[in-house]
Amino acid sequence: MVETDMNSQAKADRKAGETVLVADDIKRHYEIPQGAFGKPRILKAVDGASFTLQRGQTLAVVGESGCGKSTLARVVTMIEPASGGSLRIGKTDVVNASRSQLAALRSKVQIVFQNPYGSLNPRQKIGAALEEPLLVNTNLSKKQREAKARAMMAEVGLRPEHYDRYPHMFSGGQRQRIAIARALMLDPSILVLDEPTSALDVSIQAQVLNLLRDIQKRYNLAYLFISHDLSVVRYIADEVMVMYLGHPVEQGSRDAIFASPQHPYTKALLSATPVADPEGKRERIVLTGELPSPIAPPPGCTFHPRCPMAADICKRLVPPVQRVCGTTSWCHRPWEAETESAA
For residue 284, what pLDDT is reported? 78
The answer on 326 and 223 residing in a single domain is yes
Q: Examine the pLDDT at 5 and tell me if it is beyond 50.
A: no
Residues 43 and 142 in one domain: no
Q: Is residue 162 located within the same domain as residue 135?
A: yes
Per residue in 170-190, pLDDT (tens digit) is: 998 999 999 999 999 999 999
**Are 243 and 224 members of one domain?**
yes
- Specify whether 176 is located in the same domain as 204: no
Gap between the Cα atoms of 43 and 246, Å rounded = 10
pTM recorded for the entire structure: 0.88
| pLDDT band (50, 70, 90) for residue 296 | confident
With H, G, I as helix, E, B as strand and everything else as coil, classify residue 330: strand
Q: Across-strand partners of 240?
A: 60, 252
CA distance 315 to 175: 47
Regarding predicted confidence, which is higher, 218 or 12? 218
In a domain? residue 117:
no
317: pLDDT strictly greater than 70 = yes
| Pair (144, 15) in one structural domain | no
Q: Does any domain span residue 114?
A: no
Same-domain pairing of 103 and 159: no
| Calpha distance 29→147 (Å, rounded) | 43
What is the arrangement of strands in the sheet containing 109-112, beginning at the earlier edge strand? 109-112, 190-194, 222-227, 58-62, 239-244, 247-253, 327-330, 321-324
Q: What percent of the chain has pLDDT over 70?
A: 90
Q: Which residues, including other chains, have CB under 8 Å from residue 103's CB and lie 6 or more apart?
A: none
Helix (H, G, I), strand (E, B) or coil at 294: coil
Residue 117 has pLDDT above 90, yes or no: no
List all residues 6 or more positions away from 150 whose beta carbon is below 8 Å from its beta carbon.
127, 160, 163
Angstrom distance (rounded) from CA 52 to CA 120: 30
Domain assignment present for 282? yes
Beta pairing partners, 28: 46
What's the pLDDT at 288? 80
Is residue 247 a contact partner of residue 330, using CB atoms and an 8 Å limit? yes
Looking at the fold, whether 52 and 197 belong to one and the same domain comes out as yes
**Which pLDDT belongs to residue 280?**
58
Same domain, 153 and 244: no
| Residue 339: predicted pLDDT | 41
User: Of 184, 209, 235, which closes a domain?
Assistant: 184
Give Cβ neighbours of residue 8 (< 8 Å, ≥ 6 apart): none
What CA–CA distances, in Å, run from 89 to 74, 95, 173, 266?
A: 14, 10, 30, 29
Asked whether residue 172 falls in the same domain as residue 318, the answer is no
By three-state DSSP, how is residue 311 classified?
coil
Whether residue 175 is found in the same domain as residue 319: no
Where a domain ends, among 184, 205, 220? Answer: 184
Convert the pLDDT of each residue in 134-163 to its tens digit.
Answer: 999 999 999 999 999 999 999 999 999 999
Give the contacts of 112 (CB within 8 A, at least 6 positions apart): 176, 179, 180, 183, 191, 192, 193, 194, 196
Distance between CA 341 and CA 343 in Å, rounded? 5
The boundaries of the domain holding residue 170 are: 122-184
First to last CA, the chain: 71
Rounded Cα distance, 313 and 37, in Å: 37
Q: Is residue 271 part of a domain?
A: yes
Say yes or no: 136 and 155 in one domain.
yes
- By the 8 A CB rule, do 202 and 194 touch? no
47 lies in some domain = yes
Cα dihedral 151, 154, 160, 161 sign: negative
| Domain end (from 130, 151, 184) | 184
Q: In this model, does residue 263 exceed pLDDT 70?
A: yes
Domain count along the chain: 2
Residue 330, domain CATH: 3.40.50.300
Q: How far is CA 101 from CA 81, 95, 158, 277, in A?
A: 14, 11, 34, 51
- Report pLDDT for 3: 43
Averaged pLDDT, 100-115: 90
Residue 224 in domain: yes
Rg (C-alpha) for the chain, rounded Å, is 22
Q: How far apart are CA 109 and CA 300, in angstroms?
A: 35
User: What pLDDT does 14 receive?
Assistant: 57
At 19, the amino acid letter reads T
